[in-house]
Amino acid sequence: MARDLRGFIKILEERGQLRRISAPVDPDLEIAEISNRMLQQGGPGLLFENVKGASFPVAVNLMGTVERICWAMNMQHPQELETLGKKLSLLQQPKPPKKISQAIDFGKVLFDVVKAKPGRDFFPACQQVVIEGDDLDLNKLPLIRPYPGDAGKIITLGLVITKDCETGTPNVGVYRLQLQSKNTMTVHWLSVRGGARHLRKAAEKGKKLEIAIALGVDPLIIMAAATPIPVDLSEWLFAGLYGGSGVNLAKCKTVDLEVPADSEFVLEGTITPGEVLPDGPFGDHMGYYGGVEDSPLIRFQCMTHRKDPVYLTTFSGRPPKKKR
């Protein structure tokens, strides 16, 4: 099974579900437009190998069909998704088993939880290259701008990792980030999201919030991060439950956070509470442009990546038709 992004790309290629594109493409509008057309036709995952202005390939549409989502979750058939749903509901509302068969089922689920605990990698692939200070330039990443009315370049499929400054419990969510300068981005998280809660708490304590963005991870982890789960449950454990074994984590270089060791790229930074910049507008999944909102500003001090990283991206929903 795939335990990292490149493992999943290999699986798609072996199963005839990946197309490599060597013609030059522009991350401004063109990548999203080509990908959108392919997605509508149920086409394969795409790997753009020659992206204008960037030296890294861009993967998109990897989970563009139910079949590929099943493969990402290490399943062969959509019916298996139902079995997983039952397992997860057992964990969410555990009731004392009344029959031996129920006790056996519950025991199996508990065993799965033990297997799902994250592991630790001390020499992680995601830190093969380390870029710090003035050398850090986010313009070198092939960030896309999907739609003509979009305000700028965005990260669409990054794991945004923060920590509760009191309990230390991490939160992992997928939130849109807009490029603001060579080392800053704004993060667009709704006020109910885990990251927003952590920032409010850090502000109350008069602290800065540390933040890491992991780009290009095992699709299973993206799925876990995009699943709304109880606040005290770690997304890492949840991803391990999805995958049947624990996620390998590594300590970041400059912040006290953990990231998937096999990420393609990792960005490390901090948010000073109250420091905001206008973010948006961007086309959203309903087919409209959203508004402009003051959003927290992240200042990045470090980027690490694998030696030959692949940048994974996506775009949201149907192309926008008109302004809100």
Nearer CB in complex with ligand FMN: 100/190: 190
DSSP strands (E only) in 6-68: 18-21, 45-48, 58-60
Exactly one of 124, 194, 283, 290 binds ligand FMN (CB under 6 A); which one?
194
Which of 70, 81, 61, 76 is CA-nearest to residue 9? 61
Residues 199-238, one symbol each (x = binds ligand FMN by CB under 6 A, - = not), give ---------------------------xxx----------
Report whether the peptide linkage leading into residue 281 is cis, meaning its omega lies within 30 degrees of zero. yes
H or E, element range at 26? none
Residue type, 6: R
Exactly one of 190, 205, 206, 274 binds ligand FMN (CB under 6 A); which one?
190
How many amino acids of this chain bind ligand FMN (CB under 6 A)? Answer: 17
Cα–Cα dist 322/188, whole Å: 21
Tokens for 150, please give them.
């979009």
Q: Does 175 bind ligand FMN (CB under 6 A)?
A: yes
Residue type, 131: I
Of 170-178, 199-207, 241-249, 272-280, the segment contacting ligand FMN by CB under 6 A is 170-178
Residues 124-163 close enough to bind ligand FMN by CB under 6 A: 156-157
> What does the radius of gyration of the chain's CA atoms come to, in whole angstroms?
20
Q: Does 250 bind ligand FMN (CB under 6 A)?
A: no
Exactly one of 3, 153, 163, 176 binds ligand FMN (CB under 6 A); which one?
176
Q: Does 68 bind ligand FMN (CB under 6 A)?
A: no
Nearer CB in complex with ligand FMN: 193/305: 193
For this structure, is 284 an active site residue?
yes
Cα–Cα dist 173/155, whole Å: 13
Cα–Cα dist 259/249, whole Å: 5
Q: Does 295 bind ligand FMN (CB under 6 A)?
A: no
| Residues annotated as catalytic (active site), given as ranges | 284
